[in-house]
Structure 1
């Protein structure tokens, strides 16, 4: 489990348990995912670069550190990745957002790209790729591969849930990309879904079937 950061804070785990329940409504699912993503952002961005500026407090002038949120890119794997991006933007509102459209072929389970749009000058930016599920790993591998074509300063992958197969797939293809997750579940089922899991994250976010 090298380069896998398990975010096991009690608040994250409590909200994840509520989110997993099959009777959780669409509205509550979105809210919980947003809250978990906001909490996860603190750990994911723990090493974000900072620079000093001069400010005036009510008592004196001082030098203090700030981040450059514009250098952070949240790259959302469509469609479910938007559920994580929204929460992370709460704490880094100046971040740029990119989108990668991928769908899983129902027969091969291979990721097929249909859309790709990123901010410019990725070589000067830190990219956080987000998707609620790291299951077979095909979408994550394809997304990171495309982003690497633009040589960003760094890449991290953030998911709500993963499993041993997903971790192995992503790290086999991209061993330099750390994975941040709230849970490592048991395995994949015959249809490529994480179990016990949360079901289809996109369907539960958007209320589709």
Structure 2
């Protein structure tokens, strides 16, 4: 597997919070809180390559050239619905980001994505675009979402998830080798229903208290 295509974020706080989230007895409120907290930590890693320029400012002591973000504000794209859990935390760190949504659900028979909604910011060709979804399982929905974003002009893309399966990472690598994947953990495999093993269950259901 291409290590440059996949980055596993091994920060101790990320790993600790993920372990708690995996526990089946964690409440909906607890799961939601932990997902928001862990998304802040993940966002530090996925934004390391944001470009900087300098600007002139006045401190209480003197004038200086200080670093500041360059170019258009980055775009965050949530794959509905579970992506919103990561989105909320990242927006606490980067409140000025532009936000878009791609609505996809997985057909339970074919495991293929079905699109029902798409609304994204303008000028994606000039923005770093971070696609968020807690789970990279089969990779079909992620690939479909990135296909759609490239149709809208996105060029500088990142994919951020909480958990990934080897099958999903490989699917992404084959379909979009130019899109780095960032995750907190690479789990063992998919089961016969397309769920990540050992995983943490359905992230959307656990976040919203649905089944």
Aligned equivalents of 2:190, 2:155: Cα separation in 1: 32
Deviation at 1:70, TM superposition (A): 5.1
Task: Write the deviation string for residues 88-114 of structure 1: whole angstroms up to 9, x where unpaired.
Answer: 111111001100000000100000000
Question: What is aligned with 2:130?
Answer: 128
Of residues 31-40 and 148-157 in structure 1, the stretch that sits farther from structure 2 once superposed is 148-157
Deviation at 1:121, TM superposition (A): 1.1
Aligned equivalents of 2:198, 2:71: Cα separation in 1: 36
What's the TM-score, normalizing by structure 1? Answer: 0.98
**Shift in CA distance, 69/22, structure 1 to aligned 2, threshold 3 Å:** farther
Structure 1 gaps of 5+ residues are none
Aligned Cα root-mean-square deviation (Å) = 1.0
For these two proteins, the number of residue pairs brought into alignment is 209
Question: Quick one: which of 190, 202, 205 aligns to 2:204?
Answer: 202
Structure 2 gaps of 5+ residues are none
CA contact (8 A) 2:123 2:153 kept: no
Deviation at 1:153, TM superposition (A): 3.9
Question: Quick one: which of 104, 107, 110 aligns to 1:108?
Answer: 110
Residues 163-182 of structure 1: pairs in structure 2 closer than 5 A = 163-182=165-184
Residues 1-150 of structure 1: pairs in structure 2 closer than 5 A = 1-2=1-2, 3-68=5-70, 71-150=73-152
What's the TM-score, normalizing by structure 2? Answer: 0.97
Aligned equivalents of 2:22, 2:127: Cα separation in 1: 33
CA contact (8 A) 2:71 2:127 kept: no
Runs of 4+ with deviation above 6 angstroms: none
Aligned equivalents of 2:153, 2:210: Cα separation in 1: 36
Instruction: Give the match's secondary structure for 2:89.
Output: helix
Aligned equivalents of 2:210, 2:145: Cα separation in 1: 24
Instruction: Give the match's secondary structure for 1:199.
Output: coil
Aligned equivalents of 1:65, 1:196: Cα separation in 2: 43
Deviation at 1:71, TM superposition (A): 2.0
Aligned equivalents of 2:37, 2:70: Cα separation in 1: 23
